[in-house]
Amino acid sequence: MESQNILNAQAELWNQTFSFVKSLTLKCAIELGIPNAIHSHGQPMTLSELHAALSLPTCNETNLLRLVRMLTHSGFLVQNTGKNSEEVYDLTPISRLVINNSDSTSSLSSFVLGDMFNKIPRADAVFLKWILHDWCDEDCIKILQRCKEAIPSKEAGGKVIIVDMVVGSDVGSINHEPQLLFDMMMMTLTKGKEREENEWSNLFKKAGFNSYKIAASLGVRSIIEVYP
Ligand SMILES: C[S@@+](CC[C@H](N)C(=O)[O-])C[C@H]1O[C@@H](n2cnc3c(N)ncnc32)[C@H](O)[C@@H]1O
């Protein structure tokens, strides 16, 4: 191997070996309250402003700079130039997703206690968002059978709407890697899996449904409508 190739391979091996550090810095940023501090400030912050807002011990400003450098590299923050030519840090679309709006309330839904393996309350449609990937095929078939019992015929508008991943689906320009990462998580933490389209199709058939369509894609997830 050419020496440049060996050096590239070595760097890539280190990237993959230490990629968990990215997750840990993300956890650290959220626990320190960095996204909320910038959001509450209402404009990009200098390192000193951020340091003061987080109430960290003075000696930690250098460590905060190292953390912020990593977060900027991962796209969690962006570094810009402020009005007085100072370096300022701002939120990105990624960090905006984790701002904690705990004061927002919603009362559009009402809640009914129950076990989806026993009975699902009668409804025009059943919405299963990020449910079936937690379960093995046998359990999914049971849940889907309960859904089928809860809804009217297709002609009367009955359907099950599933939001879950369809591994290998066309996700356009979005990085499909989360589908593979989630599947590893499901393999290790649950009895479930992320499923390819033919695996979904088999489940629907075995649960007694007649047809389905992948109605839309939501980034790396899909909306699947299943008809009795
Ligand atoms: C991954 S979470 C769902 C995530 C949520 N739908 C969302 O989109 O953020 C799985 C949910 O299934 C519920 N669940 C687990 N077992 C259940 C059962 N036997 N009957 C009804 N709900 C159950 C859990 O309480 C939990 O809320």
Q: How far is the CA of 115 from the centre of ligand 1 (A)?
A: 10
Ligand 1 proximity of 130 Cβ (cutoff 6 Å): yes
Q: Is 103 in the pocket of ligand 1 (CB under 6 A)?
A: no
pLDDT for 104 equals: 54
The model's pLDDT over 23-56, given as tens digits with 9 standing for 90+, comes to 999 999 999 999 999 999 999 999 999 999 998 8
pLDDT, average across residues 166-173 = 91
Give the residue-averaged pLDDT of 118-132: 96
Spell out the long-range contacts of 183-192 with Cβ–Cβ below 8 A and sequence spacing 24 or more.
Answer: 186/133, 186/134, 190/133, 190/134, 190/135, 191/134, 191/135, 191/136, 191/139, 192/132, 192/133, 192/134, 192/135, 192/136
- 103 band by pLDDT with thresholds 50, 70 and 90: low
Average pLDDT, the chain: 93
Mean pLDDT value across residues 204-219:
95
Q: What is the position in ligand 1's atom list of the atom closest to the CA of 134?
A: 1
Q: What would the mean pLDDT of 198-204 be, rounded to a whole number?
A: 98
The predicted model gives 147-158 an average pLDDT of 96
Q: Using 50, 70 and 90 to split pLDDT, how confident is the model at 107?
A: low
Q: What is the pLDDT of residues 3-28, one digit of tens each?
A: 999 999 999 999 999 999 999 999 99
Ligand 1 mean position, distance from CA 131 (Å): 6
Q: How far does residue 212's CA lie from ligand 1's centre (Å)?
A: 22
pLDDT band at 190 (very low <50, low <70, confident <90, very high): very high
CATH class of the region 3-96: mainly alpha
Q: Could you say which of 41, 73, 133, 176 is catalytic?
A: 133
Å from CA of 201 to ligand 1 middle: 22
Q: What percent of the chain has pLDDT over 70?
A: 96
Q: Quick check: CB of 127 below 6 Å from ligand 1?
A: no
Give the closest residue (by CA) to ligand 1 atom 12.
131
pTM, full prediction: 0.86
| Cβ 192 vs Cβ 133: under 8 Å | yes
Is 41 annotated as catalytic? Answer: no
Contacts (Cβ under 8 Å, ≥6 apart) of 54: 32, 33, 34, 37, 64
Domain ranges of the chain: 3-96, 125-227
Q: What pLDDT does residue 57 have? A: 79
| Residue 2 vs residue 142, higher pLDDT | 142
CATH of 125-227, one of 3.30.920.30, 3.30.310.50, 3.40.50.150, 3.30.420.40: 3.40.50.150
